[in-house]
Amino acid sequence: MRILLVEDDNMIGHSLRQALAETGLSVDWVRDGVLAESALSQGSYAAVLLDLGLPRRSGLEVLRRARQEGNRTPMLVLTARDGLDDRVSGLDLGADDYLVKPFELRELLARMRAIIRRAGGHAQSTIGTTHTQLDLATRQLVHEGTTVDLSAREFHLMHALLERPGAIVSRTQLEERIYGWGEEVTSNAVEVLIHGVRRKAGADVIRNVRGLGWRVAGAQA
């Protein structure tokens, strides 16, 4: 799963990127508002972690412009500003949630999962079809009654496929969701992940659509 981190403090940025990467997330990190807008216009992100006190363009302005341009990427505001007016302004401009520094990583991850679920129209921690479900909290996949543990990238692959059950997802779309800037992506990287999931959960869990991509069959649960 690919996350955009917008944070100008080097110490906080380095620590947060490392902590998120250790959970299996791919993190693109920018340090000012102008670069944040550029990244949002070019990349596909599961969520944005957005500081407010940014150089060149404030976090609130980045948020306002993104929503005006129709960007619906879930955004979690991270800031040292704990005043009511700042919280209200951020939420009114379209932030999906608000977390005041300092915070615990577990709470950050839980709030990220929540805003990503809501963006996909899921109220519960499990998404999927009547035959295949993915638990966003435990990262376990259940297919035809069999529960398996997934690696971080296998989880992100299945998350991308199960957000819209039945929809075909291309190689490019999967690579954008799974890998971040500077990560080397081999030509068969997606196939290797798919093979790993099929080996664990069954050959029919992911179906190939020749020339177009892959999908998970079945109606949404």
- Per domain, the residue ranges of the chain are 2-119, 126-215
Residue 13, pLDDT above cutoff 70:
yes
H or E stretch at 48: strand 47-51
The four Cα atoms 215, 146, 106, 32 give a dihedral, to 10 degrees, of -10
- The architecture in CATH of the region 2-119 reads 3-Layer(aba) Sandwich (3.40)
Assigned fold of 126-215: Arc Repressor Mutant, subunit A (1.10.10)
At 127-178, the pLDDT tens digits run: 888 899 999 888 899 999 899 999 989 999 999 999 888 899 999 999 988 8
Q: Are strands 213-215 and 207-209 parallel, antiparallel or unpaired?
A: antiparallel
Whether residue 15 is predicted with pLDDT greater than 90 in this model: the reply is yes
Sort strands 213-215 and 126-128 into parallel, antiparallel or unpaired.
unpaired
55-75 average pLDDT score = 93
The yes-or-no verdict on residue 124 having pLDDT over 80 is: no
User: What is residue 81's predicted lDDT score, i.e. its pLDDT?
Assistant: 65
